[in-house]
Structure 1
Amino acid sequence: MRILSIIVFLLLTAMFAFTAHTQEVGSPQKPLRVMLIPADGGTEDGTKADFQPLFDAITRSSDLHFTVSTGQSYASVIEAMCAGLTDVVWYGPASYIEARDRGCAQLLAVEERNGASTYYAGLFIAADSDASSVFDLSGGSLALGSSHSASSFAYPLVMLRDEGLDPLKDLSALRITGSHTNSLLALKNGLVDAAGASFVSFERAVNQGSLDPRAFRVLAKSQPIPNPPIAMNTALPADIKAKLKRAMANVHEAEGIGPAAIRGYGGKRVDRYNTEAGEALFDSVISATSFLDDDYMAAILRKADAAQRG
């Protein structure tokens, strides 16, 4: 009887150990939850399709499993990470800094192409606009994306400021549309005189047939902006973080993984994901946008709200 009890005990121990193993974070039974900011409208067949090949490739090369979704807004993705509802997030630079400073996001990787990890924002105007400089926007209206976006919100305001324009005093109206594409569509439809968006998002909208590039002109180009990073939740187990870093760093060289799978912002192919990039990469964002403190942001949002109600 005692031998039987020992056998039962050993079988139960093995069964519980097997169950615990299969329920580890990153297993098929408990996949890592990936959430993406809705940079180009947040459609499941848009932003999600850009990154699904990358995470599928990581699964094949490392056996880490993922579920991928797109958040409803930049703010909701930040909150999801800080509430422990997601494990891995693709952020914009500004939204990453916000989540990092709240203690819930840790840098995982930054996409790299031709040795560079930066992109650009632009101030776009209609092709037939009379404006020839940023200062010519004085008295006009501007469409911006999400207030948590670097390239569709913060850097367009930086470009105005660099040319001596204060959007609170020198623009007739601000329109906050929630995304790059929506801002460009507002310009296309004559609702504003200019729109702030990334060149990646502009190119994507053109490639999808949403915009005719001949109808637009670039009035100004921003200084380089760090590419939107992929971050991991600080609460993840240390061994999972280490495994994620190894997998992300090596996926572009993994056997059986074609270059078409290594994709990033806007669905573009990238050379690799740099997991050695440090926080210093984002210091330029903090420096350039330091004037956007809470009071200034509140004033910008009030102006936009007044324009919407007006």
Structure 2
Amino acid sequence: MSSFSLRRMALKGAFACALSTGLSLSAHAAADVLRVSAIPDEAPTELQRKFAPLGKYLEAQTGMKVIFTPVSDYAAVVESLATRKLDLAWLGGFTFVQAKIRTNGTAIPIVQREEDAKFTSKFITADPTIKSLADLKGKTFAFGAPSSTSGSLMPRFFLQQAGLNPEKDFKNIAFSGAHDATVAFVAAGKAEAGVLNTSVWDKLVEARKVDTDKVRVFATTPTYFDYNWTVRGDLDPALVKKLTDAFLKLDPKNPEHAEIMALQRASKFIPSKKENYDGIEKAAHAAGLLK
């Protein structure tokens, strides 16, 4: 065999070895990254701010690098979980139902805030003539995002139970895209009334980002299950346990956890399960949002 052939074989072997090592390093690096996102129910900058201390905590608890990536719409979170581009996601109740269906039942809700077991939505207005749901007839109205549990699906369900059909009974319907945007719509007169989740409403009131002398709550929905943290179904069970335990250990009385819990607007995290969202799935079918 010529020296040229020997050299070529040696180079091919070295290249194969380098490629194999590179792929191993790449796979190892990917395995050490926890990819996280959330439904865009608030402005992307607010979602990043809320997640930052939680991300650092999860890094310490799992030993992994945590990367949070905001997305443009609700469907993107569902699709990213289904295609394994995300490991962990903050979902609303309806978005979880969509994720469960899209992943053939493999997506797993691991925890929810205690508050999410009895969640509500607030109907708001700046119009003094609107005092009840019945007064919405002939008015312009703003929902949040079409796939929002607390900004669209469940309020719509309760409106229907009150005998109102938004498409027929309201003068016009708008979708603001996010809870904070709904408040801005109503405050600016772009809609005579709207609906958003109670947690965001309370946060905006506390931060004085809404003038309650102008915009007020005139009705509150009955309670329902809402948000949770969901993992993709094929995530390593040991990692799923680490993540679940990390959330369940969070305690607002612990100074190291106080900021995390305040930003998450949580008194505590509790275990979640798929069955919690059966009622939301039925509401979605009733509203014609699921086939």
Q: CA RMSD in A?
A: 2.8
DSSP-derived class of the 1:161 partner: helix
The percent of aligned pairs where both chains have the same amino acid is 19
Q: How does 1:71-220 map to 2 (within 5 A)?
A: 71-103=71-103, 105-112=107-114, 117-126=117-126, 128-220=127-219
Q: Which residue of 2 aligns with 1:23?
A: 28
Q: Which residue of 2 aligns with 1:287?
A: 282
Q: Give the Å deviation of 1:258.
A: 3.1
Contact 2:252–2:261 (CA under 8 A) maintained in structure 1? no
Q: Give the Å deviation of 1:117.
A: 3.0
Distance in 2, Cα, partners of 1:133 & 1:53: 40
Contact 1:123–1:195 (CA under 8 A) maintained in structure 2? yes
Q: Give the Å deviation of 1:105.
A: 2.2
1:230 aligns with 2:229: yes
The code of the aligned residue for 1:38 comes to P
The code of the aligned residue for 2:269 comes to Y
Q: TM-score, normalised by structure 2?
A: 0.82
Residues 1:294 and 1:200: Cα distance change in structure 2 (over 3 Å): closer
| Matched residue count | 268
Contact 2:120–2:150 (CA under 8 A) maintained in structure 1? yes
**Deviation per CA, 1:248-289, whole angstroms, max 9, x where unpaired?**
3334499983332235xxx244233223x2222212322344
Q: Give the Å deviation of 1:243.
A: 2.7
Distance in 1, Cα, partners of 2:113 & 2:64: 19
Q: Give the Å deviation of 1:173.
A: 0.7
Distance in 2, Cα, partners of 1:182 & 1:255: 33
Contact 2:34–2:87 (CA under 8 A) maintained in structure 1? yes
The code of the aligned residue for 1:106 comes to I
Contact 1:111–1:227 (CA under 8 A) maintained in structure 2? no
Gaps of 5+ in 2: 1-16
**Range that drifts further, 211-220 or 190-199:** 211-220
Distance in 2, Cα, partners of 1:257 & 1:64: 19
Residues 1:62 and 1:253: Cα distance change in structure 2 (over 3 Å): farther
Distance in 2, Cα, partners of 1:234 & 1:173: 40
Q: Give the Å deviation of 1:149.
A: 0.3
DSSP-derived class of the 2:182 partner: helix
The code of the aligned residue for 1:191 comes to K
1:48 aligns with 2:48: yes
**Deviation per CA, 1:158-207, whole angstroms, max 9, x where unpaired?**
23212111112111110111111112111111121110101211223334
Residues 1:22 and 1:294: Cα distance change in structure 2 (over 3 Å): closer
Residues 1:22 and 1:257: Cα distance change in structure 2 (over 3 Å): farther
Residues 1:295 and 1:270: Cα distance change in structure 2 (over 3 Å): closer
Contact 1:58–1:251 (CA under 8 A) maintained in structure 2? no
The code of the aligned residue for 2:270 comes to N
Distance in 1, Cα, partners of 2:119 & 2:283: 15
The code of the aligned residue for 2:28 comes to Q
Distance in 1, Cα, partners of 2:250 & 2:218: 38
Contact 1:26–1:66 (CA under 8 A) maintained in structure 2? no
Residues 1:254 and 1:57: Cα distance change in structure 2 (over 3 Å): farther
Contact 2:182–2:195 (CA under 8 A) maintained in structure 1? yes
Q: Which residue of 2 aligns with 1:35?
A: 37
DSSP-derived class of the 1:290 partner: helix
Gaps of 5+ in 1: 1-11, 297-310
Q: Which residue of 1 aligns with 2:6?
A: none
DSSP-derived class of the 1:70 partner: coil
Q: TM-score, normalised by structure 1?
A: 0.77
Residues 1:132 and 1:175: Cα distance change in structure 2 (over 3 Å): same
Q: Give the Å deviation of 1:119.
A: 1.9
Q: Give the Å deviation of 1:153.
A: 0.7
